[in-house]
Amino acid sequence: MITRPGTERIVRWAFKLAQQRKGAPADGKRRVTCVDKANVFKSFAFFRQIFDEVAREFPRIQAEHGLH
């Protein structure tokens, strides 16, 4: 089950981890990529919405989306 508190916890953890790292080997950019099936499942659309909300709290970390 996807819940707001659980999703926020996971996404914040990912962004905080990105802050601690040096960035991607190819370009040095710090980023977090949300890979989901939002085009198929409504629950993943909810996950993506929360990801976008939390990402605004970390303006120095690039937020990306990738469909799978």
Tens of pLDDT along 31-48? Answer: 999 998 877 888 888 999
* CB-neighbour burial class of residue 42 (10 A; exposed 0-12, middle 13-18, buried 19+): exposed
CB 50 within 8 A of CB 4: yes
Q: What angle do CA 12, 36, 15 make, to 5 degrees?
A: 20
Average pLDDT along the chain: 92
Percent over 90 (pLDDT), the chain: 76
pLDDT at residue 50 above 90?
A: yes
What is the span of the domain harbouring residue 46? 4-67
Q: How many domains does the chain have?
A: 1
